[in-house]
Amino acid sequence: MLADKLGTNPNSLNFLLADSNQITETLENQIMFILKEHHDELSLFKDEIIEDNLFIDTEFQIVLGERLKIFAKQKFSTLKELADALGISPQQLNQYTSGKREPGSKILSKLLELGCDINWLLTGQKISESYKILTLENEIKNLKFVISEINNIIQKVK
C-alpha cells in the first residue's frame, strides 16, 4: 500500500526502507504523511500515536521481530534453520527477532529470496500471491516426503 501511494515499486521501497541512510527528508515526510493517514489500517503501533521518526522506532523493530519469528516457524520450523538459510549466526538473528536490531537491505534481500513477503514483514499486510506461494511450497514439501517414502518402499522390495 505504501509503495502504491508513493508511486513506486514495492521492492524498491523495501530496499530504501532497509537502509535509512538512503531515505531523503522529502521521502521520509511523504512516508510519515501516508502512515499517519492510514494509521488504523496498518496496525503497526497498537493504539499508539506514530512517532516522528519511524526509522528508529523500537516498537516497529519489535513488531518486525515478531513477524520474523512467524516466518521462521512457517517456513523453516526453527529460528536456527532460518539463521542457517540466511547465512547468519543464531545470535544475529536473535538481535532481529528480539527487536534490538533492524535487518538491513542484505538480510531483507535474502529473506525475499527465501520466500518471505517483505511487504507483510514491514507492514503486516499480506499479499495474496505470497500466501499462494507459501501454500504451494508446503504442498511440494509434503509431496517430496511422500516420494521419498515411496522410494524407500521400492528399495526395500528390490
Each residue's pLDDT tens digit, 29-74: 777 777 777 655 555 444 444 444 545 567 788 889 999 999 999 8
CATH match of 2-125 with 1.10.260.40: yes
Query: What number of other Cβ atoms are within 10 A of residue 134's Cβ?
Result: 17
Q: Give the predicted TM-score (pTM) of the model.
A: 0.47
Measured between alpha carbons, how far is 6 from 101 in angstroms, rounded to an integer? Answer: 26
Determine contact, residues 94/79, Cβ cutoff 8 Å.
Answer: yes
Give me the average pLDDT of each 10-residue run along the chain (158 residues). Answer: 73 68 73 70 48 59 90 91 95 92 91 88 73 75 90 89
Angle 105-113/10-18 helices, nearest 10 degrees? 140
Q: How far is CA 117 from CA 21, 52, 120, 127, 131, in A?
A: 23, 26, 5, 7, 9
Q: Can you read off the three cell numbers belonging to residue 85?
A: 538459510
Q: How do the domains of the chain map onto residue ranges?
A: 2-125, 127-158
- Alpha-carbon distance 31 to 114, whole Å? 27
Contacts of 105 (CB under 8 A, 6+ apart): 15, 18, 19
Q: What is the mean pLDDT of the chain?
A: 79
